[in-house]
Copies of this chain bind each other. A is one copy, B any other.
Amino acid sequence: MTVPLRAAALEVDIRIGDVEGNLERIRTALERGAASGAQLIVLPELATSGYLFDDVAEAAQAALSRDDPRLDVLRGALPPGVVAVLGYLELDGDRLYNSAMVLTGEAIIGQYRKAHLWDRESELFEVGDSAGAVFDTPVGRLGVAICYDNEFPEVPRALALAGADVLALPVNWPLVPRPDGEHAPEVIQAMGSARSSRLPTVIADRIGSERGVAWTGGTTVIDGDGWIAAVSDDGVALADLTLTPGDKALSPRNDLFGDRRPDLY
Q: Which residues of A contact B (CB under 8 A)?
A: 115-120, 122, 127, 129-131, 148, 151-155, 157-158, 178-179, 181-182, 185, 188-193, 195-197, 225-228, 251, 253-254, 259-261, 264-265
Contacts and interface: CB of A to CB of B under 8 A. Distances in A.
This chain: how many copies in the complex?
Answer: 2
A4 B122 CA distance: 33
Contact of A157 (B116, B130, B153, B190): B153
Contact of A253 (B122, B189, B254): B122
Given A119-B253, A188-B195, A227 B182 contact: yes
Given A196-B151, A251-B119, A185 B226 contact: yes
Contacts of A127: 261
A226 B178 CA distance: 10
A182 B195 CA distance: 14
Given A153-B153, A260-B152, A264-B115, A195 B191 contact: no
Given A196-B153, A254-B119, A225 B261 contact: no
A185 B179 contact: no
Contact of A225 (B148, B158, B185): B185
A197 B151 CA distance: 10
Contacts of A120: 253
B185 A115 contact: no
A171 B94 CA distance: 53
Nearest to A196: B153
A194 B265 CA distance: 18
B226 A188 contact: yes
Contacts of A190: 192
Given A179-B228, A254-B119, A131 B192 contact: no
A155 B253 contact: no
Given A131-B264, A153-B157, A251-B119, A189 B195 contact: yes
Contacts of A254: 118-119
B158 A265 contact: yes
